[in-house]
Chains A and B, each alone.
Chain A
Amino acid sequence: MNRKPRLLTHILLLLAALAYLAPLLWMIDTSLKHEVQAVQIPPVLIPHPVRWQNYVHVLRDPQFDFSLFARNTLIIATLSSLGAMLSSSLVAYSLAKIRWRGRGLVFGIVLASMMIPFPVFMVPLYRIFRELGWIGTNLPLWVPAFFGIPFFIFLLRQFYLTIPRELSEAAVMDGCSHFGIWWRIMIPLTRPALLVVGLFSFMSAWNNFLGPLVYLTHQSSFTLSVALQVYQSRSGGTSYNLLMAASVLIIAPVLILFFLAQRTFIRGIATTGLK
């Protein structure tokens, strides 16, 4: 009696897996084909010969300086994840473990600000960054991370709240300052949560498109996502085998990062919805 539903589950799972995997597989497939073979009808399933040269071509394209764009993106992503981890954990500690007047209001602002769409800030921030002389530099894309990211403050606060009060009270008795408690108790005990913050902010900086589109003006400072869009829309158009190879190159670091930190990732996302 139990067999039929189980068979149905298997079939549905296989179909879902196919649907979710096929676009990625087709991207890789196309990236390994010759320009002519890529657009052949009916489509050729297995590329022959396999053209690894496509990747060399993308990496050596004088108009698409991949290593430069990768370095730009890496710098922004690293700095913003460092900033997010440091500032968000300090602020979260204050909101979770220190009793002070106004913290309820600040927490309210943290929650409310998550709802505000970016376009509201787009124009004024552009003005502010222009007055500061930051337009065209990568500063607008990582400096704000050092001032706390609402979503991460919220996430870490929830984690800090689960640390028993007795632990920090005992530390206070021993003459530990708040900084000491934060550094010696909170950070080590919630390392996985902090790692989640680091990972998420790294990924969102890596994937960010609208920010770089607005604030970066010179091609030499472009990030990968903006560069990819320019690569696609340049005059004459780029053939799909090269475009897919470039896409693989941009996706690969994200996927490698995911497989290295799979547990942290899944746990991190899972906890966001529960508290």
Chain B
Amino acid sequence: MNDRITLREQLAGMAFAAPYLIGAAAFLVFPLAMSLYYSFCNYSMLQPPIWIGWTNYRHLLTDHAFHTALWNTIFYAAISVPFTLALSLFLALLLNQPTRGQGIYRTIVFLPSLVPLVASALIWQWLFNADKGLINSVLRPVLHMLGKAVLSPLAGMLGARHATIESLRHISPPVWLGDPHWAMAAIIFISFWGVGQTVVIFLAGLQDVPRELHEAAEMDGAGAIHRFFNITLPMLSPVIFFNLIMGIIGSWQIFDVPYVMTGGGPGRSTLFYSMYIFEAAFNQLRMGPACAMAWIQLLIILFLTVLAFASARKWVYYA
């Protein structure tokens, strides 16, 4: 009797999971194997693939554009992930305070994360416009005044050279998307605008921190900062961990915003990993190198995730 039920259950289970079993075979396992195979091939999609061994991977060692894309993505992820985490946590703590209009504030911070990234890219492209953009329209007079009234006299007092004093009188704002360094800064900045969903996840986590813990600690005379580091942060660590993993996976795949806003420029200063794969595959029809890069990307994300999981034992606290 028990066996018969098990067989029935087995068939029912597989039947219900059938969409995914078929889907995983067709859209996951098979493509994964194909792309691994292509990564060792010379393949243009127009002719059948030809096996060339490790050549694609070896060429990546000397491909300067690839190095740039890799470095840009590492740089972006290294800055964007920790800062968006810290910012979202800060905003969540702020939005968790009982204040009038709390709901409205929460909605406002959340809204930008709903905006389609192509539209975000266009909005910020306009805001960052060097001549007519809102940001520089505000910065220009502020910097001008700061230079003229503060920095230039200060330099004079410190005995700086005449040229330095003169140049400080005319500080102008950056040209943002026209400057390699500032373009990268702008793209990192935009990632701060879209933290709404992370904030909501943190807010939900904060609801689960037992009030009694805070009250007990307060009775013992623990200050707000002390309570934050000894109660809130440890209780929140699983949520921080979740957001960290999502952040790592997401940041390594950044595509939409730089593709639309800068097209990778100026030069290759905002060429990111996924953009270069896309370019290699669909503009240059170099499917082999594209797949090789994609597999390296997969391994990097895998490595970072494993690293995060390994470190989790030290700092993630499960109640």
Give Cα distance in the complex from A119 to B99, angstroms.
Answer: 44
In the complex, the chain A residue whose C-beta lies closest to that of B12 is A178
Decide: B28 and A23 in contact? CB cutoff 8 A: no
In the complex, the chain A residue whose C-beta lies closest to that of B252 is A117
Query: What 1/0 mask marks residues of chain A from 80 to 107 whose CB sits below 8 Å from any chain B CB?
Result: 0000000100110111001111110010
Chain B contacts for A95, CB-based, 8 A: 17
Which of B56-64, B116-124, B176-184 is the contact stretch? B116-124
Query: What 1/0 mask marks residues of chain B from 277 to 291 whose CB sits below 8 Å from any chain A CB?
Result: 110011000010011
In the complex, the chain B residue whose C-beta lies closest to that of A271 is B204
Chain A contacts for B54, CB-based, 8 A: none
Q: Which A250-275 residues sit within 8 Å CB-CB of chain B?
A: 250-251, 254-255, 258, 262, 266, 269-274
Give Cα distance in the complex from A17 to B94, angstroms.
Answer: 11
Decide: A100 and B204 in contact? CB cutoff 8 A: no
Query: What 1/0 mask marks residues of chain A from 3 to 26 whose CB sits below 8 Å from any chain B CB?
Result: 001100110110011001111101
Give Cα distance in the complex from A262 to B113, angstroms.
Answer: 14
Chain B contacts for A167, CB-based, 8 A: none
Given contacts A91-B20, A119-B278, A244-B123, contact A274 B239 (CB under 8 A): yes
Contact of B126 among A5, A115, A243 (CB under 8 A): A243
CB distance from B27 to the nearest CB of A (A): 5
Query: What 1/0 mask marks residues of chain B from 224 to 255 whose CB sits below 8 Å from any chain A CB?
Result: 10000000000000010011000001001101
CB distance from A26 to the nearest CB of B (A): 5
CB distance from A194 to the nearest CB of B (A): 15
Task: Give the interface residue-count category, chain A.
Answer: 35 or more
Which of A51-59, A63-71, A206-214 is the contact stretch? A206-214
Contact of B35 among A91, A123, A144, A244 (CB under 8 A): A123
Decide: B112 and A24 in contact? CB cutoff 8 A: yes
Chain A contacts for B129, CB-based, 8 A: 240
Give Cα distance in the complex from A30 to B239, angstroms.
Answer: 39
Given contacts A9-B94, A209-B256, contact A127 B126 (CB under 8 A): no
Contact of A229 among B32, B109, B118, B297 (CB under 8 A): B118
Decide: B95 and A124 in contact? CB cutoff 8 A: no
CB distance from B221 to the nearest CB of A (A): 15
Give Cα distance in the complex from A209 to B255, angstroms.
Answer: 9
Which of B78-86, B151-159, B195-203 is the contact stretch? B195-203
Most buried by B among A128, A147, A207, A225: A147
Chain B contacts for A225, CB-based, 8 A: 116-119
Chain B contacts for A22, CB-based, 8 A: 134
In the complex, the chain A residue whose C-beta lies closest to that of B199 is A269
CB distance from B36 to the nearest CB of A (A): 9
Give Cα distance in the complex from A177 to B116, angstroms.
Answer: 42
Any A CB within 8 A of the CB of B23: yes
Give Cα distance in the complex from A109 to B132, angstroms.
Answer: 50
Decide: A255 and B114 in contact? CB cutoff 8 A: yes
Give Cα distance in the complex from A125 to B282, angstroms.
Answer: 13
Most buried by A among B9, B127, B200: B200
Give Cα distance in the complex from A12 to B99, angstroms.
Answer: 12
Query: What 1/0 mask marks residues of chain B from 200 to 221 whose CB sits below 8 Å from any chain A CB?
Result: 1111110010000000000000
Chain A contacts for B278, CB-based, 8 A: 119, 122, 210, 213-214
Give Cα distance in the complex from A39 to B278, angstroms.
Answer: 34
Any A CB within 8 A of the CB of B318: no
Give Cα distance in the complex from A29 to B61, angstroms.
Answer: 48
Give Cα distance in the complex from A115 to B193, angstroms.
Answer: 24
Decide: B253 and A116 in contact? CB cutoff 8 A: no
CB distance from B173 to the nearest CB of A (A): 13
Most buried by A among B35, B196, B293: B35
Decide: A127 and B45 in contact? CB cutoff 8 A: yes
Give Cα distance in the complex from A10 to B17, angstroms.
Answer: 50
Give Cα distance in the complex from A32 to B117, angstroms.
Answer: 22
Chain B contacts for A5, CB-based, 8 A: 224
Given contacts A100-B14, A119-B294, A273-B239, contact A26 B32 (CB under 8 A): no
CB distance from A207 to the nearest CB of B (A): 4
Any A CB within 8 A of the CB of B97: yes
CB distance from B171 to the nearest CB of A (A): 18
Any B CB within 8 A of the CB of A120: yes
Decide: B109 and A250 in contact? CB cutoff 8 A: no
CB distance from A181 to the nearest CB of B (A): 10
Any A CB within 8 A of the CB of B34: yes
4 residue pairs, one from A and one from B, having the closest CB atoms: A147-B23, A100-B13, A270-B204, A94-B16
- Given A24-B112, A207-B117, A210-B278, list of 9 further CB < 8 A pairs? A21-B111, A39-B132, A103-B13, A117-B294, A122-B277, A122-B290, A124-B34, A232-B260, A262-B107
CB<8 Å pairs between A and B, sample of 11? A117-B274, A120-B291, A123-B287, A124-B38, A147-B27, A229-B259, A251-B115, A251-B116, A269-B201, A271-B204, A273-B205
